């Protein structure tokens, strides 16, 4: 177990909200998804407080990614309800959920490979402005977004890659580009699916620092395998195994839980 403890001295109570009054931005009730007879997500009740970084961890096949797909409506739930920012989003289409400010990333880095970094970010900016159906106008009208797009790229350390095709960026940079694109939407809440998966150490550090910087004014829910990342970054951790929540709380609480040790930490992290 790593000894990184920069957040460990923060006062935290058992899953009940740090100050007791934090607003719940995302809440699920008995969220369930079955594939035939296999129940991938089973009666999950999740409460994410506004302004926090919340981690979803668990061994492979625990249903974390399915959970993400359900929350962002990329997959319909078999049962259960989802509320986001005071609205029931259980029946909405994925694009509508994104428009409400709940924006996801993907496990495999999600960029538009044959477009430049600038164009990638601009696509997010362009959507918010709503002239994206104009097929009769020149794309030069999109130039108004260039300054903002450059600023966002600079923010994630991609200032030197503005005109590089996304496909040619190294893996860690692609993830940074993906985050810049997501940030361009100025989402209320970001869902990051394994933001550091498959990265080198430097890249992990860069992304962790980036997430630490962009959290201001936002809520982040992330699936993460790297426990040192979770420990350093996340306020609340929910542990899933076999589709159900087995523990919830801050890192110290969760890592002491015997069920968690048995199901996850004991085998995965040694």
Dihedral sign of CA atoms 184, 185, 187, 190 in order: negative
Residues belonging to the chain? 270
- The verdict on 138 binding another protein (CB under 8 A) reads yes
Longest dimension (CA), the chain: 62
CB under 8 Å to 114, separation ≥6 — which residues?
A: 165, 166, 167
- The verdict on 156 binding another protein (CB under 8 A) reads no
> By C-beta, is 12 or 72 nearer to another protein?
72
Q: Which two tokens stand for residue 50?
A: 């506004």
CB under 8 Å to 256, separation ≥6 — which residues?
A: none
Interface pick for another protein out of 6, 131, 200, 267 (rule CB under 8 A): 131
Residue 259 C-beta: closest distance to another protein, Å: 33
Residue 97 C-beta: closest distance to another protein, Å: 8
Interface mask toward another protein for 32-51; x: CB under 8 A: --------------------
Please give the residues from 70 up to 99 whose contact with another protein meets the rule CB under 8 A: 72, 74, 93-96, 98-99
User: Of the candidates 255, 253, 256, 208, which has an alpha carbon nearest to the alpha carbon of residue 232?
Assistant: 208
> By C-beta, is 133 or 202 nearer to another protein?
133
Other Cβ atoms within 10 Å of 136 Cβ, number? 5
Applying CB under 8 A, which residues contact another protein? 72, 74, 93-96, 98-99, 103-106, 110-115, 119, 122-124, 126-128, 131-142, 181, 185
């Amino acid at each position: 177990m790593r000894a990184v403890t920069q957040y460990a001295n923060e006062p935290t109570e058992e899953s009940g909200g740090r100050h007791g009054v934090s607003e719940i931005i995302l809440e699920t009730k008995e969220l369930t998804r079955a594939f035939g007879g296999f129940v991938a997500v089973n009666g999950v009740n999740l409460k994410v407080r506004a302004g926090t970084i919340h981690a979803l961890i668990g061994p492979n096949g625990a249903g974390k990614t399915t959970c993400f797909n359900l929350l962002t409506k990329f997959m319909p739930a078999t049962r259960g309800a989802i509320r986001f920012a005071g609205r029931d989003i259980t029946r909405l289409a994925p694009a509508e959920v994104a428009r409400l400010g709940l924006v996801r990333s993907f496990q495999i880095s999600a960029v538009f490979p044959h477009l430049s970094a600038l164009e990638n970010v601009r696509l997010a900016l362009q959507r918010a402005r709503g002239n994206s159906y104009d097929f009769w106008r020149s794309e030069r009208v999109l130039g108004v977004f260039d300054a903002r797009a450059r600023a966002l790229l600079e923010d994630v350390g991609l200032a030197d890659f503005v005109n590089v095709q996304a496909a040619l960026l190294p893996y860690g940079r692609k993830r940074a580009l993906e985050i810049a694109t997501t940030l361009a939407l100025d989402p209320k809440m970001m869902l990051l699916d394994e933001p550091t998966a498959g990265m080198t150490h430097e890249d992990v550090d860069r992304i962790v620092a980036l997430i630490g910087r962009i959290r201001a004014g936002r809520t982040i829910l992330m699936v993460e395998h790297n426990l040192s990342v979770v420990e350093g970054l996340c306020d609340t951790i929910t542990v899933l195994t076999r589709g159900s929540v087995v523990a919830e709380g801050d890192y110290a609480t969760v890592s002491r839980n015997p069920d968690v040790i048995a199901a996850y930490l004991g085998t995965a992290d040694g």
